[in-house]
Chain A
Amino acid sequence: MSAQPLLRIRGLQTFYGKIQALHGVDMDVYEGEIVTLIGANGAGKSTLMMSICGDPQAREGSIEYLGENITGKPTYEIMRTGIAQSPEGRRIFPRMTVLENLLMGGMRSQPEHFEEELKRVFDLFPRLKERQHQRGGTLSGGEQQMLAIARALMSRPKLLLLDEPSLGLAPIIVKQIFEAIAELNRSDGLTVFLVEQNAYHALKLAHRGYVMVNGLITMQGSGAELLARDDVKAAYLEGGRH
């Protein structure tokens, strides 16, 4: 773990109009880590992720990526600096084919890398290769999630932001997807920031975790530490062990 975090967030405050969603969040993501953010519905997890992407933009505080302040930059510039995102609800392009979806993800990178990246994501998710000419909208939920992650990977990111990849998926598919994330981290050294409601799986996968309540970070620690804590268990894990 290097001393300089890849992503450094300090005192972040985000508002929707007059309503404050984040009340001063501090967070660090180091290179090569999987960091997860768990919390209940409406805690502000997705807002934090979207604030990193600059949509909505933070009103107070700072977000530094590779030592550079990216707060206040337009989304499309942030997404070209080596950060990629698989947004909440997957948001694949339903009328475009799988291949076209992937092409959209690789639009900002060099064309000569395209084939190489394509091979990499097809190796990771062989299902996508089988269905490369199929319309995105005709894929199953799990395949769509794979496509959303693969699309994000096409830009060869340093930091991958994943917003609830397990949402609405069968446990077996969730397992597959989490294994793929672990594999990406292990073999390619990809840094992953994972927002999840599925706290048990997320904490098992992650090196470190943060717990968010009402727009504030209330607990942090290694994944194993958080899993072992009684208050975390009571709040997020009861009945969640599936």
Chain B
Amino acid sequence: MEQSQTSFNWETLLKDAALAALIAALLAGVMLGLRVDVASGRGAELYLEYRWPLFGAAVVAVFVGRLLMGVYYALRESGQFEARKKNKSERQNVEGYLKPLFLLLAFALPFVLLATLGARGSRQYIDLATLVLTYVMLGWGLNIVVGLAGLLDLGYVAFYAVGAYSYALLAQYFGFSFWICLPLAGILAAFWGIILGFPVLRLRGDYLAIVTLAFGEIIRVVLLNWYEFTGGPDGISRIPRPSFFGLEFKRGEGGFADFFGLDYSSVHRILFLYFLILILALITNFVTMRLRRLPIGRAWEALREDEIACRSLGINTTNTKLTAFALGAMFGGFAGSFFATRQGFISPESFTFMESAVILAIVVLGGLGSQIGVVIAAVVMIGGFELFREFEEYRMLVFGLLMVVIMVWKPRGLISTRAPSVALSKNAKGISADLVEEGHG
């Protein structure tokens, strides 16, 4: 490609970058450049600290970053990336390759970790993987409501809480085991999904988001204040651990290790929990993918596209919305009771709005409606969150930056292609991605 063909309008680019740097300077001047601190020594005197190098670094970073972004866009518009675009149809099949790969990785991961790091060293990583999978499952559950049916739900954590508390309370008051409580928790969460669904049937977009947000808070506040029943802020502790078909993970006679003639190890339970959530998540995925090809799943997608058209085609939009809410809530409930049994202790603190926001961010960053996108986003976000725990201060900064970068680079999320749910002829697989991919805008 000839270099001379691309001429940049350097003046505009520099102006743009300078403007961004100016805004950064105004903000950073107050936020980074100046710092009020309490003087050590006698008396609690306040003094002002100046941190000009930090301030300068921030301004320069913004200037350079903005300039690079401008150059990137200029290059893209001038067609320098044309060659790469041709590979798009190959990229469309990315989901096809990733799926078996991820599946294999998910099943092999704990054993690889055990073999390389040993029982003690791998524990924290298997725990982390379990946490990531919990969010994958939550993401997939929310994907039904937000990604497929297009109903923006900011209070998804409420169903997670309902599931967790259902199990904890049923176990506490009636002594039910995990395996009885799991379906019950799902049913109860689905029931609450329908309760929420009814009043919000007429709402869409912003209005729906506000009501679901409020619903999430109501559930949390009720759990917090109904002290006699839920234990309020103290939460519920000593939630029973799950058993492997009646075999408990305990030392000695009648335990899991004893039954299979293994030496007792605490890793068994960790592994069991990992595979439990893996299977639960895969069930969520399987059900969603199947439903997408059935009339109800197609009705969800059509509802996201155009509600009026749906009604004019004889689709009962009320039922369609309620099933989306109920099903999404049910999977949230399953994940909730898994969370309760894994932690052994739950309190309303685990179910704040921040959780809803993280789950929603996973779905949106992954690409609305994309199952594999949710996996990638969950691994990056939750995994990244935990891995960088030591850099507590910068974690949120990086998190925010990542979000901005993804939204600039891929405004429709990481995986923005939508696979058609039906094709007549066999050559349908060869459709160019340009025809099915979502445009920008």
Contact = CB atoms under 8 A, between A and B. Distances in A.
A83 to B, nearest CB: 9
A108 interface: yes
Contacts of B302: 93, 96, 104
A95 B418 contact: yes
A152 B309 CA distance: 10
B93 interface: no
The CB with the most chain A CB atoms within 10 A, among B305, B317, B423, is that of B305
A85 B313 CA distance: 7
A100 B422 contact: yes
B43 interface: no
Nearest to A103: B422
Contacts of B7: none
A142 interface: no
B427 to A, nearest CB: 9
A94 to B, nearest CB: 6
A113 interface: no
Contacts of B311: 53, 55, 75-76, 79
Contact of B436 (A79, A104, A105, A135): A135
A155 interface: yes
B314 interface: yes
Contact of A99 (B299, B422, B438): B422
Nearest to A163: B312
Interface residues of A, number: 35
Interface string B330-359: 000000000000000000000000000000
B295 interface: yes
B377 to A, nearest CB: 20
Contact of A79 (B312, B421, B422): B312
Given A91-B308, A133-B420, A151 B436 contact: no
Nearest to A76: B316
A107 interface: yes
A133 B295 contact: no
B282 interface: no
B110 to A, nearest CB: 38
Interface string A116-157: 001000000000000011110110000000000001100100
Given A76-B317, A107-B295, A96 B305 contact: yes
Contacts of A93: 301-302, 305-306, 309
Nearest to A138: B435
B314 A107 contact: yes
A29 interface: no
A97 interface: yes
Given A53-B312, A133-B435, A134-B435, A97 B299 contact: no
Given A84-B313, A91-B308, 7 more contacts: A53-B311, A74-B316, A75-B312, A77-B314, A87-B309, A93-B302, A96-B305
20 contacts: A53-B312, A75-B312, A75-B314, A76-B311, A87-B308, A87-B309, A91-B312, A92-B306, A96-B301, A104-B298, A104-B315, A105-B313, A107-B295, A107-B299, A118-B424, A133-B428, A134-B431, A135-B435, A135-B436, A138-B435
Closest 5 pairs between A and B when the two form their complex, measured CB to CB: A79-B314, A91-B309, A93-B305, A76-B316, A97-B420
